[in-house]
A and B are shown apart, each in its own frame.
Chain A
Amino acid sequence: QQQVKQSPQSLIVQKGGISIINCAYENTAFDYFPWYQQFPGKGPALLIAIRPDVSEKKEGRFTISFNKSAKQFSLHIMDSQPGDSATYFCAASISGGLAGNQFYFGTGTSLTVIP
């Protein structure tokens, strides 16, 4: 059973446009929600993350919107650039003491930004 469901599978956006990727989860114990960016042949790189006690977090052109009651969160990329073309993964985890936490990843969204 997929713990985190991600959509769309692929997305094409014009340069300067807004890219929006959505994720939904079921486990209300999740308390940490990161987004990762992955280029072909590379490992995922942490972009931005949010805790459920806030509804929005912004870092540069990247914003996470979080809806706790709907158990949904989304990534918005403003002023999308060709260099943003990559695969994006949402994830969720339950923080566990001093020993870290297991991440549950979505299935990924392939973003293409057209010049």
Chain B
Amino acid sequence: ETGVTQSPTHLIKTRGQQVTLRCSSQSGHNTVSWYQQALGQGPQFIFQYYREEENGRGNFPPRFSGLQFPNYSSELNVNALELDDSALYLCASSAPQGPEQFFGPGTRLTVL
């Protein structure tokens, strides 16, 4: 059984650019959640996708958007990058019956 995978591992962007992060959910899991983890902080919920639709959103602006594909993999897109967007972005998948969420290794985004 393959766990949650994320790509890329690291990414460096400049302010104002756009970025796309990718996540493959664990086998059998149809729900994907995205979290932002700033240095020294706990993960903060961005949004969740279920059956290819956004299902719940945290306190993040619209420039954070996402997609879920028929195979349950997901993308997180961030437009107009700001310095404060520098963080570890985590993807977590969960099974239909829940509630456990299993996290991937994350993508470290640095905005210069």
Task: Compute how far the CA of A46 lies from the CA of B41 in the bound complex, rounded to whole angstroms.
Answer: 17
Task: Compute how far the CA of A91 lies from the CA of B35 in the bound complex, rounded to whole angstroms.
Answer: 13
Which stretch of B13-21, B76-84, B95-103 is in the interface? B95-103
Which stretch of A14-22, A61-69, A73-81, A96-104 is in the interface? A96-104
Task: Compute how far the CA of A43 lies from the CA of B100 in the bound complex, rounded to whole angstroms.
Answer: 15
CB closest residue in chain A, given B95: A100
User: How many residues of A are in contact with the other chain, CB < 8 A?
Assistant: 27
* Min distance, Cβ B21 to any Cβ of chain A, angstroms: 13
Question: Which among B33, B35, B41 is the interface contact of A108 at CB below 8 angstroms?
Answer: B41
Q: From B50, B55, B101, name the one whose CB has the most chain A CB atoms within 10 angstroms.
A: B101
CB distance B99 to A100 under 8 Å?
yes
CB distance A99 to B90 under 8 Å?
no
Residue A72 at the chain B interface, CB threshold 8 Å = no
CB distance B106 to A43 under 8 Å?
yes
CB distance B90 to A100 under 8 Å?
no
Residue B86 at the chain A interface, CB threshold 8 Å = no
- Contact flags B10-43 to A (C-beta < 8 A → 1, else 0): 0000000000000000000001010100001111
CB distance B98 to A101 under 8 Å?
yes
Residues A100 and B55 in contact in the complex (CB < 8 Å), given A43-B104, A93-B99: yes
For A46, the chain B residues whose CB sits under 8 A away are: 100-103
CB distance A100 to B101 under 8 Å?
yes
- Contact flags A16-38 to B (C-beta < 8 A → 1, else 0): 00000000000000001010100
Residues A99 and B102 in contact in the complex (CB < 8 Å), given A105-B42, A108-B40: no
Task: Compute how far the CA of A101 lies from the CA of B48 in the bound complex, rounded to whole angstroms.
Answer: 8
Residue B7 at the chain A interface, CB threshold 8 Å = no
* Min distance, Cβ B25 to any Cβ of chain A, angstroms: 11
Task: Compute how far the CA of A31 lies from the CA of B38 in the bound complex, rounded to whole angstroms.
Answer: 26
CB closest residue in chain B, given A6: B42
CB distance B45 to A102 under 8 Å?
yes
Task: Compute how far the CA of A89 lies from the CA of B100 in the bound complex, rounded to whole angstroms.
Answer: 14
